[in-house]
């Protein structure tokens, strides 16, 4: 007598149940969530994130990709490391301050400071007196100590915000005198002229693209002038028949000089002799310097304002300053950056090419022993992040076949390199030495996927 399949179950003809039976054997969500690993993950990541991983595992079982008994293990494997969507990345591009990778990586000290500040803090409270205190006073004091030539300092949420606040306070409804050669685009389609005009100021352009003299500024100054703006063209260079007036040449024109140095260098750096710094600009007579905190300073995203005491006070008390203020996590990271050990950016800037080549050779030898087509090669790194245009830093890289680039980007710990002459280069200047083992493991993990693409 022919054996009939149970209702809703496909018969395979070999005496085993078909897809319908498999689907019925997929465990319910509430049962899967009783797994201690997943119940702990709910407390760490939140129920929606864990349930989403469980649903993906259940769908894989219903589709025949895994056995129903594997749903809990698969769900655990699918859990993200954190509840946030951002993934840690190893920056092997050779660009120290890669905008798409978040620019400056924070130091270990800054990361610990952020973690400590995540709970209740005394950000605006004097614990001795029990009354309200100046917000972020210790971070501001640390910044002022690093640039004592400033009369006072203030911090907002990014470099563009610092310039917007200055333009609003000093030149809303008035003119800003600026060189045509310094009307830059700051990235992603945002242009400096548009940013300044949005504050209600009018721009008075002087000079030409390649040459602007102090006399050009002087002729444009009038009773309607709010300030003279000097902008460091931080992401390009104009060479040849050029001339640019320095801040020191403009300080006697009867109006404030605002210097937007962009990259956040607080004092001269021997590796970057042509990069403007806050201390030099202030000593040259600039009334105000604006800069970013997440570039050469090596800190969190924020905007720095340094300069005349009364001007800083006016900026800090303007209603717009409230909308542009930074949170306690940024203040904590900034202070630790200013007072703590050298930042990853500072270490990358001063890394010795010979030491980088030694690391690359060691990695290449270990990977070649495992059958990976890996070689140590000389490389050239750049600062990036709108700093030190045209400056190259001798470096060393791990050279791999081109298909490794995509395989490394999509690994468990993404590694982003660059393609050059048909090879994937993993430049080590922006990779801390303590991450070399992680880099090697990522390459080994990517090997099968990369070799399959060849």
Digit-coded pLDDT (tens) for 366-380: 999 999 999 999 999
Q: What is the structure's pLDDT at 191?
A: 86
Residue 155 binned pLDDT confidence (cut-offs 50, 70, 90): very high
> Residues with Cβ < 8 Å from 433, sequence gap 6 or more?
359
Using left for φ > 0, alpha for ψ between -120 and 50, and beta otherwise, residue 301 falls in beta
pLDDT 10s digits, 176-230: 999 998 888 776 678 888 999 999 999 999 998 889 999 999 999 999 999 999 9
Tokens at 134, concatenated: 């100046």
The two structure tokens encoding residue 100: 């798409």
Q: At what angle do helices 36-45 and 47-62 cross, to 10 degrees?
A: 140
Give the model's pLDDT for residue 90: 97
Backbone angles phi, psi at 220, to 5 degrees: -90, -15
pLDDT over 50 (residue 418)? yes
Q: Is the dihedral of CA 327, 328, 331, 333 positive or negative?
A: negative
Looking at residue 81, what is its pLDDT?
86
Q: What is the mean pLDDT of the chain?
A: 91
Question: What is the reported pLDDT for 306?
Answer: 98
* pLDDT score of 19: 58
203 vs 409: CA distance, rounded Å: 44
DSSP state of 85: S
Interval 117-145: pLDDT, tens: 999 999 999 999 999 999 999 999 999 99
In 3-state terms the chain splits into helix, strand, coil percentages (rounded to 5) of 40, 20, 40
pLDDT per residue as tens digits for the range 65-78: 999 999 999 999 99
pLDDT higher than 50, residue 8: no
Section 10-38 average pLDDT: 74
Q: Which residues of 258-280 are buried (b: 16+ CB within 10 A; e: fewer)?
A: bbbbbbbbbeebeebeebbbbbb
pLDDT above 70 (res 20): no
Coil, strand or helix at 420: strand
Return d(Cα 420, Cα 53) in angstroms, integer.
Answer: 38
pLDDT, one tens digit per residue, over 86-106 is 889 999 999 999 999 999 999
Q: Is residue 300 a contact partner of residue 129, using CB atoms and an 8 Å limit?
A: no
What separation in angstroms does the CA of 348 have from each of 107, 179, 291, 314, 378?
12, 33, 20, 37, 16
Element (H, E) at 74: helix 71-78
Unique residue bearing structure tokens 């993993």: 426
Tens digits of residue pLDDT in 239-255: 777 788 899 999 999 99
153, pLDDT greater than 80: yes
pLDDT of the residue at 255:
96
Report the Cα 74 to chain-centroid distance in Å.
33
Question: Tokens 């201390």 sit at which residue?
Answer: 279
């Amino acid at each position: 007598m022919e054996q009939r399949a149970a209702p809703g179950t496909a018969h395979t003809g070999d005496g085993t149940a078909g897809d319908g039976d498999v689907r019925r054997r997929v465990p319910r969500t509430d049962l899967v969530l009783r797994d201690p690993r997943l119940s702990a993950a709910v407390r760490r990541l939140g129920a929606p994130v864990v349930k989403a991983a469980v649903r993906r595992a259940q769908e894989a079982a219903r589709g025949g990709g895994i056995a129903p008994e594997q749903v809990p293990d698969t769900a655990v494997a699918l859990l993200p490391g954190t509840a946030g969507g951002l993934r840690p990345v190893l920056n092997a591009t050779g660009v120290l301050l890669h905008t798409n990778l978040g620019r400056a990586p924070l130091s270990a000290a800054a990361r610990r400071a952020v973690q400590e500040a995540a709970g209740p803090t005394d950000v605006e409270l004097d614990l001795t007196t029990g009354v309200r205190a100046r917000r972020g006073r210790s971070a501001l004091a640390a910044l002022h100590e690093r640039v004592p030539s400033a009369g006072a300092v203030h911090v907002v949420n990014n470099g563009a915000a610092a310039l917007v606040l200055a333009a609003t306070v000093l030149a809303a409804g008035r003119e800003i005198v600026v060189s045509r050669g310094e009307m830059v685009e700051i990235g992603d389609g945002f242009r400096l002229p548009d940013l300044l005009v949005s504050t209600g100021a009018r721009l008075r352009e002087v000079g030409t693209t390649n040459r602007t003299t102090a006399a050009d500024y002087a002729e444009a100054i009038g009773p309607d002038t709010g300030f003279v703006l000097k902008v460091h063209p931080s992401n390009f260079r104009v060479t040849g028949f050029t001339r640019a007036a320095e801040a020191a040449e403009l300080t006697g024109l009867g109006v404030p000089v605002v210097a937007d140095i962009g990259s956040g260098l607080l004092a001269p750096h021997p590796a970057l002799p042509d990069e403007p710094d806050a201390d030099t600009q202030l000593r040259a007579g600039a009334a105000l310097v604006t800069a970013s905190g997440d570039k050469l300073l090596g800190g969190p995203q924020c905007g720095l304002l340094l300069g005349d005491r009364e001007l800083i006070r006016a900026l800090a008390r303007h209603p717009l300053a409230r909308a542009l203020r930074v949170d306690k996590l940024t203040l904590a990271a900034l202070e630790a950056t200013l007072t703590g050990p050298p930042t990853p950016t500072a270490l990358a800037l001063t890394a010795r090419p010979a030491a980088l080549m030694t690391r690359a050779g060691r990695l290449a030898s270990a990977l070649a022993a495992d059958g990976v087509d890996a070689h140590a090669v000389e490389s050239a790194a750049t600062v990036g992040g709108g700093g030190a245009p045209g400056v190259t830093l001798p470096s060393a890289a791990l050279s791999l076949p081109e298909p490794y680039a995509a395989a490394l980007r999509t690994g468990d710990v993404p590694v982003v390199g660059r393609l050059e002459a048909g090879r994937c280069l993993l430049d080590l200047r922006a990779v801390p030495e303590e991450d070399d083992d992680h880099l090697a493991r990522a390459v080994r993990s990517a090997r099968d996927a990369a070799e399959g693409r060849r």
